[in-house]
Amino acid sequence: MNMIHHSQPTITAQDFRAIGACLKSGWLVQGKYVRQFEQTLSRYVSTKDAVATNSGTSALHLALLALGVKKGDEVILPSYLCTSVLNAVNYVGAKPVIVDINNDDFNISLTATRRKLTRRTKAIIIVHQFGFPTDIKPFLRLGVPVIEDCAQAIGAKYKGRRVGSLGTLAIYSFYATKMLATGYGGMVSSNNRGLINKIRDLRDFDERDDYITRYNYQMSDLVAAMGVTQLKRLNEFVRRRQHIARIYDNALKGVSCQLPKISKGTSPAFFRYVIQISGSINTFIKSMLRKGIEVKRPIYKPLHQYLDLNKASFPVTEKAYGSAISLPIYPTLTEAKAQYVARCVRDILS
Ligand SMILES: *Cc1c(COP(=O)(O)O)cnc(C)c1O
């Protein structure tokens, strides 16, 4: 049986050509392709500039360093999240302050964030979870720098603007399964040139007159060459994901599960199509596997559980963790396969 995988990159002849051209140039390390990728991405999200890195995690690390976040400072982030973001906060020695999420969109709760604000809060990390934009405007009024985590959301829109240009800084990931995939890779974008210059300075280390601790977080030109061509096709990828989401929406109407909700004024990138079921998640995963379909918990384990925080403070995250299932969604998933996935979900849940 041909497995339907949970996620898959979209690799075409354009990627082969782009990497081939880079190889032919004989230049493998950070060079003109990296600069081109930075410029086209910053133009795409409408920011002044961007700096490429070797991962989304290192992009977050440098974003926090550029904001001057250090030991004794606090950084607010949501619990329903992968550990990469928590790691970046720990790299700079700051205290992670974990908060609950919203019921509707799995994004960070404004009320919970307000409650945890102190004089020591130096940054808030807003994750556009599963490609669904956070209602970010009220967060921007809290008087604390906001880092937009667009690792899953590049191409999504909030009030007509692409995510990534709203916060103080934004970070991206080009990991193999993300919206735009190069294997590994990341980027920071911002309208603040001072911050961008600081990040550019911290990203590599060679041939400097002064010495401070710097980081070898550079992207190779091979990766950037693929990034440039992937970015050209990103809008097409997003449209295709939205199309599959509509197929699921229609085919799963009336099935006893909670479908994704689109908040007013947003256009999600549909990095994930997450449904919430009432029965056992593990049983559901096994039943789908028997039908040749790979579905997943979208978050392996919430951060408050890793940190042994009181579960009572994270009711919405707990509920999401106990009920959320991510269905296959990616540009190369055919309509027939999406219909088959929906049919299997319907059969199992009815
Ligand atoms: C993938 C991801 C990251 C980390 O990116 P890497 O490139 O894997 O280091 C950070 N935040 C979110 C929300 C992610 O999905």
- β-bridge partners, 187: 52, 172
Q: What proportion of the chain, given as a percentage, has pLDDT over 90?
A: 98
Can you tell me the mean pLDDT for 117-141? 98
Instruction: For 163-180, give the secondary structure using H, E and C.
Output: CCCCCCEEEEECECCCCC
In this model, does residue 1 exceed pLDDT 80? no
| Ligand 1, atom nearest to 174 Cα | 7
pLDDT of residue 215: 97
Mean pLDDT of the chain: 97
| pLDDT band of 2, cuts 50, 70, 90 | confident
Say if residues 310 and 217 touch (Cβ distance below 8 Å).
no
Mean pLDDT across the stretch 2-10?
96
Alpha carbon distance, N-terminus to C-terminus of the chain:
24
Task: Tell which one of 7, 54, 57, 299 to mutate to probe ligand 1, the residue whose CB is within 8 A of the most ligand atoms.
Answer: 57
Average pLDDT estimate for 126-146 = 98
Residue with tokens 């032919």: 24
Is there an atom of ligand 1 within 6 Å of 54 CB?
no
Q: What is the pLDDT of residues 42-78, one digit of tens each?
A: 999 999 999 999 999 999 999 999 999 999 999 999 9
Beta bridge partners of 94: none
- Mean pLDDT calculated for residue range 160-171: 97
Residue range 78-89: average pLDDT? Answer: 98
Q: Output phi, psi for 35, to 5 deg.
A: -60, -40
Q: What is the mean pLDDT of residues 142-171?
A: 98
Report pLDDT for 95.
Answer: 98
180 lines ligand 1 (CB under 6 A): no
Average pLDDT in the 162-177 region?
Answer: 97
Give 227-262 pLDDT, tens digit per residue. Answer: 999 999 999 999 999 999 999 999 999 999 999 999
For the Cβ of 107 lying below 6 angstroms from any atom of ligand 1, the answer is no
Using N-to-C axis directions, what is the helix angle for 335-349 and 281-290, rounded to 10°?
130
Residue 346: how many CB atoms within 10 A of its CB?
16
The answer to whether the CB of 147 is under 6 A from ligand 1 is no
56 ligand 1 Cβ < 6 A: yes
Question: Is 16 a residue whose pLDDT tops 70?
Answer: yes
pTM (two decimals) = 0.97
pLDDT band (50, 70, 90) for residue 29: very high
From the alpha carbon of 173, which atom of ligand 1 is closest? 7
Query: What's the CA dihedral at 82, 304, 320, 75 to 10 degrees?
Result: -60
Which of 81, 87, 152 for a ligand 1 pocket mutation test, highest count of atoms within 8 Å of Cβ? 152
Q: Where are the alpha helices (DSSP H) in the chain?
A: 13-25, 32-45, 56-66, 83-91, 110-116, 137-140, 193-203, 221-232, 234-251, 281-290, 303-306, 315-323, 335-349
Residue environment code for 236-250, b if the CB has 16+ CB neighbours within 10 A, otherwise e: ebbebbbebbebbee
